[in-house]
Structure 1
Amino acid sequence: MEEGKKRMAVLVGCNYPNTQNELHGCINDVLTMRDVLVNHFGLDLSHIQLLTDAPAGGSDHIMPTGANIKKALGEMIDQAEPGDVLFFHYSGHGTRIPSVKHGHPFRQDEAIVPCDFNLITDVDFRQLVNRLPKGASFTILSDSCHSGGLIDKEKEQIGPSTITARGSAHSDDHKPKSIPFATILQHLSSLTSICTHEIGTHLLELFGSEASLKFRLPLHDGSILWPELLKPDDGILLSGCQANETSADMSPSPGGGGKAYGAFSNAVQTVLKEHSGQLSNRQVVMMARERLQANGVEQHPCLYCSDKNADAVFLWQPQENN
C-alpha cells in the first residue's frame, strides 16, 4: 500500500441486553476484531471507531443506534481518498422486510437491526458505496442473519450453496441472530400506536429523516435513484450467511469457561490469525465456510463484489516488506 493511504474501520456490536432479543457474543466479536485489525493489519487504534450497546472499554462510549451507525459510516466515507481502505464489521441481529420496489411484491430485502430498531437496509449500504471516491475500497463484514445481499445489487461471487439448508448449528449452544419481521413490526407499532403493517410508516414516524432511504425516497426499480448501480464498484460484502439463512451466536458450554462469540466472526478471525500471508476476499470466505462446516454450523458465508475485488487481498493488506 502506498505511504500515506489511510485504513479506517467502524465496528458495531449489538447484544440488546435485558431484552427478549438478547445476544451474548456480538460485543466480544468486535472487540476481538479490533485486536486483529491493530495487531495483524497494523491499523492505528485512533482510526477505529467502536459502537456497542453496553460499555466495552474506552472513554467515548457511543450507542449503536441507526443514526449513530450511519453517521459513523458517513464520516468515514467523507474522509476517504483514492487508495484508502474502509472496513465495517457488524455483529448483531438482521432481518428481512417486504420489498418496497415496484414489481417486487413478494420479494424480501435485507436489513440490520440497530439497538433502537431504526433499520439500516441494503439501499442505505448501496448509497454509502456509491459515495466512495474512486480507488478507495469499502469492505463490509456482516455477522447477522439474512446478510447475503446486504449491499443492494452488488454482484454475487460466492452465493447460495448447492446444499439447501437454513442455517442452524447442530448444538444447543447457539441462538440465531434474527428478529422476525412480525416482531419488529409489533415493537414499532407499540411505540407509534399507528395501525398499519407498512413498516416504513412506523420508521418515518419515529425517526423522520434518520429513517432508511428505502422508506424516504421512491425507488421504483432502483434505476432512477441509483443510475450507477450496475457499474463495477469497490463495495465488498462478506456476509455471515445466505439471505435465507440465520447466523449463529455461540455461547460457551456451562462450566466450560470461554466467551460467547458469533460463529462467522470467530471463523474469519481464526482464519486471519492462522495465515500470516495475504488472503483474498474469496479465500477468506471459502476458508470461513470450511471452518463453520467442520464445527457443525450450517450457515454459508457469501461474497458479493466486483470480479476484480473477489481476488483482491482482504483489506488490501500491505506487503510485509513495506
Structure 2
Amino acid sequence: MEKGKKRLAVLVGCNYPNTQYELHGCINDVLAMREVLVKRFGFDPQNVELLMDAPGSPVLPTGTNVKAALDRMVDRAEAGDVLFFHYSGHGTRIPRPRHKLPLWQDEAIVPCDFNLITDMDFRHMVNRLPKGSSFTILSDSCHSGGLIDKEKEQIGPYTALCDGGASLSHAPRTIPFNSLLHHLSSLTKINTSDIGTHLLECFGSEASLRFRRTLEELDAPIDLPVKPDEGILLSGCQAEETSADMSPSAAAAGGAGKAYGAFSNAVQIVLRENAGRRLSNREVVAAARAVLRAQGFAQHPCLYCSDENADAPFLWRPEPAEE
C-alpha cells in the first residue's frame, strides 16, 4: 500500500468472564467488526490488532496493553492514513474535583484489569495525530458520549431531540463508580475514596494521565485543541446513559443467534443495508439511532467531531483537492 494510505485498527472486546461484571456480546462485536473492516473497508488483516479477554487470548485487553496498541497505531500514522478503534465493554464516569470550579465527571472505558482509560487519554492521542490522518473511535459502552475530551458535539443531547423508546431487558455496559472504588480498594487496602490513589497504587505510571496530574494541571487550557482536529467519536449512548449488552437468551428472543452489543449491532445493520454506499459519519449515527429506536432501545448514539468530519465518509479519507 502506498505511503500515507494505510488503514490501521485496534479492536478491543471485554466480556469480563467469571466476574460479577460479566458481559456476553463484546467479543462477538469486535469479531464482526474485523470482518467488515477487511471485506468492506479494505483493511489489511495484518493491520487489525485484536485484544480480547476470551480464554486463551494471547494478549489480554488490560489498560496497559490497550494504550500500548493505540500508541503504536498513532505512532505509525502518516498523512492520509485512517485509524480506527472499536471498543466494546464496560464504561464508567469518574468524578473530577476541579480547582476552584464545580465538580465535573470524566468518561472512561474499563479494560479487563480496571486500569481506566479516560477521555483525557483519548484527547492526547488525537492531539498527536499527523495532519491529514483521521482517528475514528466507535465505543459501545455506557457513558461513552464525550469520550474524546472537548471534541465538538454534532449529534447528542444538545444538538438532537432525544426520542425515547421502550427499554428492552438487557445488561447495561456500565460499572458504577462506587463499584470501581470498592474493587480497587480491595486490591490496595488503602482507606480512601480517591480513586486516583488506588489506580496509581495499582498501576503506577501506567495509570491514566487523568490521575497523574494535579488539580491545577487538569484545569489548564493546554488540553484544548487549538483548531478542529481529526478525532471522530461514534458513541453508543449519551454521557449519562447506558448501552445495552444482549445476552444469548435475550438476543435469541430478538431474532439474533448470538449475544451482541446493541450499538455495535445497529452499526452492522446500517452498513449491511447500505452496501456499496459511502455513508458519512453523521449518516451512520443517525441511522443507528433509528435502528435502536425501532428495536425498542432507549439509548441514543452520539457523534463528536469537527464540522468537516461530520459529513466525511465513515472510515474513508476524502481525496485532497487539486491545487
Question: Do the two structures share a fold, i.e. TM-score over 0.5?
Answer: yes
Q: Is the 8 A contact 2:210 2:218 kept in 1?
A: no
Task: Tell me the distance in 1 between the aligned counterparts of 2:108 and 2:132.
Answer: 27
The amino acid across from 1:284 in the alignment is V
Change (3 A) 1:2 1:209: same
Q: CA deviation at 1:101?
A: 3.3
SS in 2 for 1:163: coil
The amino acid across from 2:91 in the alignment is G
Deviation string, structure 1 residues 267-309 (Cα, Å, up to 9, x no partner): 0111112212100000000000000000000000000000110
Find out whether 1:148 has 2:148 as its counterpart. no
Q: CA deviation at 1:102?
A: 2.5
Task: Tell me the distance in 1 between the aligned counterparts of 2:141 and 2:63.
Answer: 15
The amino acid across from 1:267 in the alignment is A
Task: Tell me the distance in 2 between the aligned counterparts of 1:85 and 1:258.
Answer: 32
The corresponding residue for 1:189 is: 185
SS in 1 for 2:270: helix
Change (3 A) 1:32 1:189: same
Q: Is the 8 A contact 1:235 1:305 kept in 2?
A: yes
Q: Is the 8 A contact 1:101 1:221 kept in 2?
A: no
Q: Is the 8 A contact 1:41 1:317 kept in 2?
A: no
Q: Is the 8 A contact 2:4 2:79 kept in 1?
A: no
Q: CA deviation at 1:225?
A: 6.4
The corresponding residue for 2:38 is: 38
Task: Tell me the distance in 1 between the aligned counterparts of 2:55 and 2:42.
Answer: 25
Deviation string, structure 1 residues 119-164 (Cα, Å, up to 9, x no partner): 0000000010011111100000000000000000000000115338
Q: Structure 2 unaligned segments of length 5 or more: list them.
A: none
Q: Structure 1 unaligned segments of length 5 or more: list them.
A: none
Change (3 A) 1:103 1:306: farther
Q: CA deviation at 1:253?
A: 3.3
Find out whether 1:200 has 2:196 as its counterpart. yes
Task: Tell me the distance in 2 between the aligned counterparts of 1:13 and 1:169.
Answer: 27
Question: How many residues are matched?
Answer: 313
The corresponding residue for 1:214 is: 210
Q: CA deviation at 1:99?
A: 1.3
Q: CA deviation at 1:80?
A: 0.4
Q: Is the 8 A contact 2:25 2:259 kept in 1?
A: yes
Q: CA deviation at 1:105?
A: 4.0
Matches within 5 A, 1:60-139: 61-139=58-136
User: TM-score, with normalisation over the residues of structure 1?
Assistant: 0.92
Q: Is the 8 A contact 1:13 1:52 kept in 2?
A: yes
Q: Is the 8 A contact 1:153 1:230 kept in 2?
A: no
Q: Is the 8 A contact 1:219 1:225 kept in 2?
A: no
Change (3 A) 1:121 1:46: same
Matches within 5 A, 1:49-68: 49-55=49-55, 61-68=58-65
Deviation string, structure 1 residues 83-121 (Cα, Å, up to 9, x no partner): 100000000000001014324442211000000000000
Percent identity over paired residues: 69
User: TM-score, with normalisation over the residues of structure 2?
Assistant: 0.91
